[in-house]
Structure 1
Amino acid sequence: MRPFSILAGLALPALSIATHAPSTLDEDSSTQLPLVIWHGLGDDFERDGLQEIAALAAKVNPGTYVHLVRLADTGSGDRQATFIGNVTEQVAAVCSQLAADPILRTAPAVNALGFSQGGQFLRGYVERCNVPPVHNLVTFGSQHNGIAEFQDCGVGDWICNGAEALLRAGRWTDFVQSHLVPAQYFRDPVELDAYLEHSNFLADINNERSTKNTSYKRHLAALNRFAMFMFDEDTVSVPKESSWFAEVNVTDGSVIPLQQRPLYTEDWLGLKQLDEQGKLDFKTIPGQHMHLSDKVLADAFKEYFGAIKDSLPSSPGLVVQQAS
């Protein structure tokens, strides 16, 4: 079992780990798409666990070019950026970074893998820019409907403890919403009005405000597959059902599944469209937040990141779907 991260989840502009360029496999006329990975809160691109996952992705699907998102040149700076920063600016930086990569920008599409908060940030990338376009998006333990509690921090972890203090003291202030990363996907239904007014990131990419961004829906609905993995014993990401866009009352524990929410019934993001087309997958895996086995990862890589049978034409700003 791989405790890849037991924190909460963000990501960063990119380091390319695997030296394999995306290749066309002549034996079956298939194309292996590059893979972009955005890690979670408290992690960094230099961690052994992330390097091993990049290597596993290339082993399961030979020819995979793996691009690790980062927001700093050092591991310590990268980790700090998962706690402190403006998520809107970070997503914009990743948009520029992926578009500038010579392999990613010339690929017909890319696959994307988000761990914890990196999952909703990659979704923000899809909605806001999506060049290069994402073919399949897979998220593990991501907080697509936000968090209603902040995590416990380790003794002596001053970055985490400082962020927690800011979140508890003034999560809806402009300063916190533009500087503290977890606050920008904090969403307590009890404080919904304050959230809709002040949220710097999540309320926007979830299209929850009265004015809807139609391009967000168009881009997300163009995904070939969107798979959301929830950890069934997750006590770090609260509520765990946020991984599936569910609404949870943290006081009584009642759960409103995505399919019963206006987000779905009015299709603010194209999730209903994806679901009706059989392209929205709700997956459950055992264990605590971000405790992943190689088997779970390898199975996901085989199912969602394998070679594409037919070549995909390039289409800037839109995700090109595999021909059926």
Structure 2
Amino acid sequence: MRPIALLALATTALSAVLPWQSTADIDETQLPLVIWHGLGDDFEREGLKEVASLAESVNPGTYVHLIRLADDSSGDRSATFIGNVTEQISLVCDQLAADPILRTAPAINALGFSQGGQFLRGYIERCNSPPVHNLVTFGSQHNGISEFESCASTDWVCRGAEALLRSGRWTSFAQSRVVPAQYFRDPTELDLYLEKSNFLADINNERAVKNETYKKNLASLNRFVMYMFEDDTVAVPKESAFFSEVDPTTGEVTPLHERPIYKEDWLGLKQLGEKGKLEFITIPGQHMQISAKILQEAFTKYFGPLEESALSLQGLVVQRGL
């Protein structure tokens, strides 16, 4: 949820090579990469630019798109605290569909940092055009948060959102304007959550009427990889990164595979799991403290070039140009 802190990243210029033009083999394709940052961050942050550069360095020819919710960094950062998440995802659906490279690619890869992870999942469930091949999330709150992080005394945007969340998280105003409130989920307040939640209860398909499109779209992923920070005290509970349920009184953790959301396959997660397409990875450190080594490994394993045959199996047409 805090701005990304990256260690020892190499900075290189982004390549102008089209993403599906492989530099290694004519029978391979390099998919574009879409990145959605977390709370308190913005698309012009140096750390985020370094991530984009690292992605291109590890997999030459990668076209990287940094999601933005405003034309300037200040507006983009404010939108991580204040805004309607449903409207923001709709904006991103239009943004990605309008990009001339993304919309003509056979598919895209997606990387979500903190809240950007569950928002990218919302994109997949609600529109998924262009379709996502692999989704990787770091410290994302897939099962929501039960606490809100404390803000710096001088961060007035954050403090304003924090005050609204603490005082009236289930009000229509908070659920339509305060971003973290829209993925707040306290197991002791499930009735209010199911009734009032603007975002998370919907994309987690927790209400009585299930959205089959959400399930179909998420189940279409080639790989869904979730990273959890071992020492995370910012995103509470940290196990939300794995879709786990945590009892706020006892601290007992119920893993995804033992929950109805998986057993009854509300989201297609069981389909992915039975095919070996779900991965749960615990890494050391505090929230969003990611080493270059871990990122390099993720980029190599999950965002590398693919054989055309692998895409063809998904019914996607590999394109070599605009």
- Cα displacement (A) at 1:237: 0.1
Tell me the amino acid that sits aligned with residue 137 of structure 1: L
Per-residue CA deviation, residues 133-192 of structure 1 (Å, 9 max, x unaligned), is 000000000000000000010121101111000001110010110000000000000000
Contact map agreement 2:3 2:39 (CA 8 A) in 1: no
- Is the aligned partner of 1:145 residue 2:143? yes
Is the contact between residue 223 and residue 319 of structure 1 (CA under 8 Å) also seen in structure 2?
no
Residue identity matched to 2:4: S
Q: For 1:221, which of 210, 219, 222 is the aligned residue?
A: 219
Match of 1:235 in 2: 233
Instruction: Please say which of residues 28-37 and 116-125 is displaced more in the overlay.
Output: 28-37
C-alpha separation between the residues in 2 aligned to 1:22 and 1:148? 40
Inter-partner Cα distance in structure 1 for 2:183 and 2:267 = 17
Q: Identify the residue that residue 270 of structure 1 maps to in structure 2.
A: 268
- SS of 1:70's partner is coil
Q: Which residue of 1 aligns with 2:9?
A: none
CA 1:54/1:193 → structure 2, altered by over 3 Å: closer, same or farther? same
Matched, 1:66 2:64: yes
Q: 2:226·2:281 contact (CA, 8 Å) conserved in 1? A: yes
Tell me how far 1:20 sits from its aligned partner. 3.7
TM score, norm. by length of structure 1: 0.92
Q: Secondary structure at the match of 2:137?
A: strand
Structure 1 counterpart of 2:18, from 3, 21, 24: 21
Which one-letter code corresponds to 1:290 in the other structure? M
Deviation at 1:310, TM superposition (A): 1.8
1:5 aligns with 4
* Contact 2:20/2:105 (8 A) holds in 1: no
Q: Work out the percentage of aligned pairs sharing the same amino acid.
A: 68
* Equivalence map 1:136-175=2 (5 Å): 136-175=134-173
Task: Tell me which stretches of 4 or more aligned residues in structure 1 moved more than 4 Å.
Answer: 311-315, 318-322
Distance 1:302 1:162, change over 3 A: same
Give the letter for the 2:103 counterpart.
R
Deviation at 1:320, TM superposition (A): 5.2
CA distance in 2, matches of 1:76, 1:314: 42
Conserved? CA contact 1:265–1:272, under 8 Å: yes
**2:152 aligned with 1:134:** no
Matched with 1:123 is: 121
Provide TM-score, normalisation by structure 2.
0.92
How far did residue 4 of structure 1 move?
5.1
Contact 1:33–1:110 at 8 Å: present in 2 too?
yes
Q: Distance in 2 between matches of 1:278 and 1:56?
A: 28
CA deviation string 1:54-91 (max 9, x = no partner): 00000000000000000001101100000000000000
**2 CA distance for matches of 1:319 and 1:290?**
35
Gaps of 5+ in 2: 6-13
What SS is found at the alignment partner of 1:24? Answer: coil
Report the equivalent of 2:293.
Answer: 295
CA contact (8 A) 2:15 2:60 kept: no
**Structure 1 position 29, deviation (Å):** 1.1
**Equivalent position SS for 1:119:** helix
Contact 1:109 1:314 in 2 (8 A): no
- Secondary structure of 1:301's counterpart equals helix
Indicate the residue corresponding to 1:186 in structure 2.
184
What amino acid does structure 1 have at the position aligned with 2:130? Answer: P
In structure 2, the CA distance between the partners of 1:320 and 1:190, relative to structure 1 (3 Å rule), is farther
Partner Cα separation in structure 1 for residue 249 and residue 315 of structure 2: 39
Contact 2:41-2:77 at 8 Å conserved across structures? yes
Give the Cα separation in 2 of the matches to 1:231 and 1:304.
19
